Amino acid sequence: MPPSVPSLPRRVAHVLRTSLFAQVLCALVLGIVVGKLWPDFATDLQPLGDGFTRLIKTIISPLVFCVVVVGIAKAGDLKAFGRIGLKALIWFEVASTLALVIGLLAANVVQPGSGMHVDPSTLDASAVDAKTGGGSLPSTTEFIVNAIPTSFIGAFAENSLLQVLILACLVGAALLHLGHTKVPKVLPAVEQAQEIIFAVVGFIMRLAPVAVFGAMAVLIGQYGLGVIETYAKLIVLCYAAAAFFIALLAVALRMVTGLSLWKFLRYIRAEMLLALGTASTESVMPRVMQKLRKAGARDDAVGLVLPTGYSFNLDGASLYLSIGTLFIAQAVGVDLSLGQQITVILVLMLTSKGMAGIPGSAFLALSATASSLGAIPAGAVALLLGVDRIMDSMRVVTNLLGNCVAVFAVSRWEGALDLEKAKKVLDGKAVPAAEDAAAQTRTAPDAETAAPAAVPAQPAKEPAGEAG
């Protein structure tokens, strides 16, 4: 007898039970429905998304520390790690500057704020202060100084990724210096801690659909869908500019590595949907790090490039800031000269680097840019309050893809990418366990002289709930 085919309800139930992507997608749709039908109830669901984000944030710092320490120790070459960092910074600066230029060109061509004739005196400037909490962006000097840890424990307690990275580099360098004979138990212990953290990620990810449901319901309940009509021209322009920038990323990735960005997007579709639903790239950092490692990028490259990109490579934010600045100027009737627009790029190149993790950072950067120009009233920044949350999806997707492409490109540049494995993974082909365990050794320079680990690296297990 031919095997029985499961009924449609059974197949649907199986997909919902095993696929994180399907779970998050259903939660996203349900959140929109609840937010539209019961907006008052929806606004009370904020703790669902906030709680999930808090749980994820608790493990980001220790995970980054473990991945970087293990990566340096196994690569056995601290100079290679320094080259990865330098090449990453070069890539970040080129990419973010390109995003700023694309944003300015798009805003000049489309003129999203022209014809609005807004009187700045009618805007509530205090609303911007409420959004930013009265804070300010750090200066370049403050940003550099704040990246230096004052306490080993404090760096983890404050969740300062740059400080954690510095500590991880120091510990990894110390392990290389001492060698495995003097501290034979340290590296295996860090590797085991890393596996425990990835297991915790798997547990927390079970709550992802709940978080997406709550975050999306709050968004629709608070802002509704009417804001899209009011700012339609600006929203369409920002998303179109982001799509063009992502297309350029796809071309760059293909030229540098031969990999397809669209296949990679399918590979991380569940994480991308989760990031969209929670409006946070931090919520998916652990899972994305895990998937990049599985796709052939070496531990030290993933551990350094991706977290650093969260502070230095905010491509989506750069697009939004440049378009937003010109939108504000056009809305209040200010015609910015070429010199002033160049000033916008220079100011945003600096202010965008200190935005990560600061509440209302986009408005702080816009206010700083308006003040530096002297031609745009500071209160005019309030024009973007109503549409800022709608732009989160564009920023999240562009930031995340920009940083993932940076990992692949820099890894390829440094010889820290297993291209054969990457192509297999992105094509959806299963990678044998033995090959997965040996991938880091194949891509590591001077692997024979690297400090051997007492416990062999095990392939990270896919967190439960993901099969599609």
Q: Which two tokens stand for residue 48?
A: 């669902």
Phi and psi at 191, nearest 5°, equal -65, -40
C-alpha to C-alpha distance for 238 and 320, rounded to whole angstroms? 7
Integer CA distances (angstroms), 324 to 108, 133, 357, in order: 11, 20, 20
The pTM of the full predicted model, rounded to 2 decimals, is 0.79
Helix (H) or strand (E) holding 65: helix 46-75
Q: Under a CB-based contact definition with an 8 Å cutoff, are residues 279 and 396 in contact? A: yes
Q: What is the DSSP string of 234-303?
A: HHHHHHHHHHHHHHHHHHHHHHHH---HHHHHHHTHHHHHHHHHHT-SGGGHHHHHHHHHHTTB-HHHHH
Q: Angle 232-257/392-414 helices, nearest 10 degrees?
A: 10
Tokens of 331: 């809305």
The CA-to-CA distance between both ends of the chain, in Å, stands at: 30
Instruction: Identify the residue whose tokens are 């992502």.
Output: 246
pLDDT for the residue 431: 65
Distance of alpha carbon 171 from alpha carbon 173, whole angstroms: 5
Residue with tokens 């600066």: 93
User: Token pair 């095993």 is at which residue?
Assistant: 18
Q: Which residues pair with 417 in a beta bridge?
A: 297
Q: CA Rg, the chain, in Å? A: 23
Phi-psi region of 258 (alpha: psi -120 to 50; beta: other; left: phi over 0): left
Which of 457, 462, 132, 124 has its CA nearest to residue 298? 457
User: pLDDT 10s per residue in the chain (468 long)?
Assistant: 455 666 767 776 766 777 777 888 888 889 888 888 888 888 888 888 888 888 888 888 898 899 888 888 877 777 888 888 899 999 999 999 999 999 999 999 988 887 777 776 666 556 555 555 555 566 667 777 878 888 889 888 888 888 888 898 889 888 888 877 788 888 889 989 989 998 998 888 888 888 888 888 887 777 666 656 667 888 889 999 999 999 999 999 999 999 999 999 999 988 888 888 887 888 888 899 999 999 999 888 898 899 888 888 889 888 988 998 888 888 888 888 888 888 888 888 777 765 665 555 677 777 777 777 777 776 777 777 767 777 888 888 899 999 999 999 999 998 889 999 999 999 887 665 545 554 444 444 443 334 444 334 444 444 433 433
- Of the candidates 282, 300, 264, 272, the one whose C-alpha atom is nearest the C-alpha of residue 201 is 282
Rounded to whole angstroms, how far apart are CA atoms 346 and 140? 13
> What is the pLDDT, as a whole number, of residue 145?
83
Q: What are phi and psi of 180, to 5 degrees?
A: -70, -15
CB atoms near residue 60 (< 10 Å)? 22
